[in-house]
Amino acid sequence: MPKVVSRSVLSSSTDARPTASSAAALRVYYCICGEFILVIDKTIASLPRRQTDGAIILRAQDSDAGKARVFKLNAVAGEPVLLERSGGHERQFRFHCPRCTLPIGYQTTPPPAKSGPYVYIFAGALSQVQGQVPPDAFDGEDGDANAEKIDTEMATR
């Protein structure tokens, strides 16, 4: 008899949250619109961030530097975007929310997800509470935030 080992940790139902006993470490994250986007073995707030854009780094493949995070992304792959970075260009293959199409992250290799060493999640794109805007939603928007502030000051004059 072949031994059947279920390696499926994730429930197919987005309503079913992992119970404390079966998957204590699994965290579920939602888009601002409430759509289930990510389940991962660690809080994304505790993960390292890119200096370039503040995006949260999910290690997608094992390497000498460490083991891959266990995570599943529920997102739609979009068109690649070419960005200018100091010292060159960067191609990003964006992931979008399947419901509201908001961009929630990217990787630097073509789909499917995890085809490259890392998957990046935009700072403030996801919330652990369904339907709630994450507290850091406006972090890392230095330039824009200042511009907005000036606009607001002028508007309230």
**Can you give the binding site for Zn ion, defined by CB under 5 A?**
31, 33, 35, 97, 99-100, 102
Cβ 32 to Zn ion, closest distance in Å?
6
Give the start-end residues of each E strand in the chain: 27-31, 36-40, 56-59, 71-73, 76-85, 88-96, 103-107, 118-121, 126-127
**Minimum separation from the CB atom of position 127 to Zn ion (A):** 10
Nearer to Zn ion, 28 or 97 (CB): 97
Which C-beta is closer to Zn ion: that of 72 or that of 99? 99
b (16+ CB within 10 A) / e for 129-147? eeeeebeebeebeeeeeee
Strands 103-107 vs 36-40: parallel, antiparallel or unpaired: unpaired
CB-nearer residue toward Zn ion: 11 or 130 = 130
CB contact set of 82 (below 8 Å; sequence gap of 6+): 89, 90, 91, 92
Q: Are 124 and 136 in contact (CB under 8 A)?
A: yes
Report in angstroms how near the CB of residue 138 gets to Zn ion at its nearest: 17
Q: Beta strand pairing status for 56-59 and 76-85?
A: unpaired
Distance in Å, CB of 67 to Zn ion, minimum: 30
Nearer to Zn ion, 30 or 71 (CB): 30
> Is the Cβ of residue 90 or residue 99 nearer to Zn ion in the bound state?
99
Considering the complex, what minimum distance in angstroms separates the CB of residue 34 from Zn ion?
7
